[in-house]
């Protein structure tokens, strides 16, 4: 999960049990058509469901996002982890995924932003600069387009 907001709320503290936190967040998101409560209220989040590169099983990640017209822009930060998050590895192997934003659910095709696109896309995910300070790897910017 990437709890970094695209709004001006302070970043959410990273929970100690991310799996349990994400499971509850996904359940609340789906039950309330994308509306969240508590410390996550008002955050701009999506659910991204990918197909496991090795397992073939569906996996759902909670991500902050920006919008560029009809395209969604996310970062593969993993909260500054030293390696790319699993959902990004899954998209590299199988770029078709499902996105849930609010009550809408639709298929997307994912691609990593080309080097010449990065600067233009960074303002859609302004928290990338802060996340980049947490890791030595270049955090990929991912563009999701309806398929």
Q: Categorize the per-residue pLDDT at 5 as very low, low, confident or very high, splitting at 50, 70 and 90.
A: very low
Q: According to the model, what pLDDT value does residue 41 have?
A: 76
Burial of 53 (0-12, 13-18, 19+ CB in 10 A): middle
Calpha distance 115→137 (Å, rounded): 14
Q: According to the model, what pLDDT value does residue 22 have?
A: 85
Q: What is the pLDDT of residues 56-72, one digit of tens each?
A: 999 999 999 999 999 99
Res 12 pLDDT > 60: no
- Domains of the chain, residue spans: 18-146
Write the CA distances from 24 to 5, 20, 30, 84, 136, integer angstroms. 18, 6, 10, 23, 31
- The correct answer on CATH 2.30.110.10 for the domain covering 18-146 is yes
């Amino acid at each position: 999960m990437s709890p970094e907001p695209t709004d001006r709320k302070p970043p959410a503290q990273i929970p100690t049990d991310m799996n349990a936190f994400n499971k509850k967040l996904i359940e609340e998101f789906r039950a309330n058509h994308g509306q969240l409560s508590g410390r996550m209220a008002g955050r701009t989040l999506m659910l991204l469901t990918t197909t496991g590169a090795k397992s073939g099983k569906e996996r759902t990640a909670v991500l902050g996002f920006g919008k560029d017209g009809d395209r969604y822009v996310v970062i593969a930060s993993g909260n500054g982890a030293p390696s790319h998050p699993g959902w990004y590895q899954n998209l590299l192997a199988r770029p078709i995924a499902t996105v849930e934003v609010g009550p809408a659910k639709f298929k997307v095709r994912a691609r990593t932003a080309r080097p010449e696109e990065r600067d233009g896309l960074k303002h859609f995910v302004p928290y990338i600069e802060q996340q980049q300070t947490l890791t030595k790897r270049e955090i990929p910017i991912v563009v999701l387009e309806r398929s």
